[in-house]
Structure 1
């Protein structure tokens, strides 16, 4: 048996960064569904949370999974589910782009805390500021 533990922090955004998820109740409902669906698909999702226009996931890859397929499954199914249940006033979609960075074992708790506290975090910092910070921190430019 192979033993694999590869944690990935994924961030993806609503199309055109429209703040569709404008209530805590709606966000909780969507994040819960994303986690449940991931579990059904054999994706180990440690944490999921976000804010009105984006979603953070902390996942652990197994030997037969890759980041692109996991992100496609999560975004595709959740878009379908959000539209099927009329959770937004207009047709919902996720932006095609996303961030994905590896997380070392020593930083897991820090990333969990960061994801868990998105509501507090975004009272102090806009998503645009967070976006620029990700670009700079991980040298994506």
Structure 2
């Protein structure tokens, strides 16, 4: 084959430190727009960004040259700095770690709908319940004492 072709899409999930609800509905749109800009700055494609007061979901396409860990670290670091400068929220921080799940191109629309409808999803299940289900569906080994 004369060239390289990839389809690398990730569903990223990360929460605020101690799962504190920092993001009111009035601030979420700005945060999500900013996170989308960070993905684009990294050379990625932001398919969808959503969340609730205490966590964020990012559906993004990345290049094979990206280091997933570095991209997530920069997004969390730069957005934390922006939140402190923009909203002057003393004490705000992202929780250490994150979840990252690969998404097939054929599932992008379903995952996009899920990411954009977090409020509705969390009326039925808590974030903790859904996150554990995501880990189990993804066959990710975990120790429950280190989740929260």
Question: TM over 0.5, yes or no?
Answer: yes
More strand by share: 1
Structure 1 range deviating more: 131-140 or 27-36: 131-140
Verify the 8 A CA contact 1:20 1:53 in the aligned structure 2: yes
- Work out the CA distance in 2 between the residues paired with 1:48 and 1:95: 18
Structure 1 spans left out of the alignment, 5+ residues: none
Q: Deviation at 1:41?
A: 2.9
Shift of 1:108: 1.0
The worse-fitting range, judged by mean Cα deviation, of 98-107 and 36-45 is 36-45
**What secondary structure is seen at the aligned counterpart in 1 of 2:28?**
helix
Q: Work out whether 1:102 is the aligned partner of 2:102.
A: yes
Equivalent residue, structure 2, for 1:13: 15
Matched residue, 1:59: 60
Pairing 1:1-141 to 2, within 5 Å after superposition: 1-21=3-23, 23-86=24-87, 88=89, 90-141=90-141
| TM-fit CA distance, 1:20 | 0.9
In the superposition, relative to structure 1, how do residues 87 and 24 fare at CA in structure 2: closer, same or farther (>3 Å)? farther
Runs (4+) of structure 1 exceeding 4 A deviation are none
Give the alignment's TM-score, normalised by structure 1.
0.90
Q: Alignment length, in residue pairs?
A: 139
**Cα offset, 1:4, TM superposition:** 1.7
Gaps of 5+ in 2: 142-148
Q: Secondary structure of 1:102's partner?
A: strand
Residue 35 of structure 1 aligns to a residue in which SS?
helix
Asked whether the equivalents of residues 43 and 70 of structure 1 are also in contact (C-alpha less than 8 Å), the reply is no
